């Protein structure tokens, strides 16, 4: 029996090429792929570095002790830059 290996979303999947999946099996496969993608996206979001509080995440100036940014302009600027970085990395 030869086994076909395939890389799916960073996971190596082994499948017997003779195997034919029925509709219910296809649903299970699709569901597993969807869950894996959702989990990966959630983990990536959780591992974004947390911004230190008390210092502006955009310009580095000291600001209110619990604030992430010194003002709304800096917040908008920084979030635009983060969104641009995410776009560049292809997500």
Q: Which residues bind Zn ion (CB under 5 A)?
A: 56, 58-59, 70, 74
Please report how close the Cβ of residue 11 comes to Zn ion at its closest, in angstroms.
41
| Residue whose tokens read 């086994």 | 3
State which residue, 15 or 81, has the beta carbon closest to Zn ion.
81
> What is residue 12's three-state secondary structure?
strand
Please, what is the minimum distance in Å from the beta carbon of residue 62 to Zn ion?
Answer: 10
Which CB sits closer to Zn ion, 17 or 58? 58
Which spans in the chain are helix H? 23-46, 72-88
* CA separation for the pair 68, 61 (Å, rounded): 10
Closest CB 63 distance from Zn ion, rounded Å: 7
Nearer to Zn ion, 13 or 62 (CB): 62
Start-to-end CA distance of the chain, whole Å, equals: 38
């Amino acid at each position: 029996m030869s086994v076909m290996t395939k890389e799916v979303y960073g996971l190596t999947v082994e499948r017997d090429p003779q195997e034919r999946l029925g509709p219910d099996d296809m649903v299970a496969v699709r569901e597993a792929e969807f869950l894996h993608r959702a989990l990966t996206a959630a983990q990536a979001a959780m591992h974004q570095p947390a911004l230190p509080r008390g210092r502006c995440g955009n310009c580095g100036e000291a600001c209110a002790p619990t604030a992430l940014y010194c003002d709304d302009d800096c917040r908008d600027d920084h979030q635009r830059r983060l969104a641009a970085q995410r776009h560049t990395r292809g997500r």
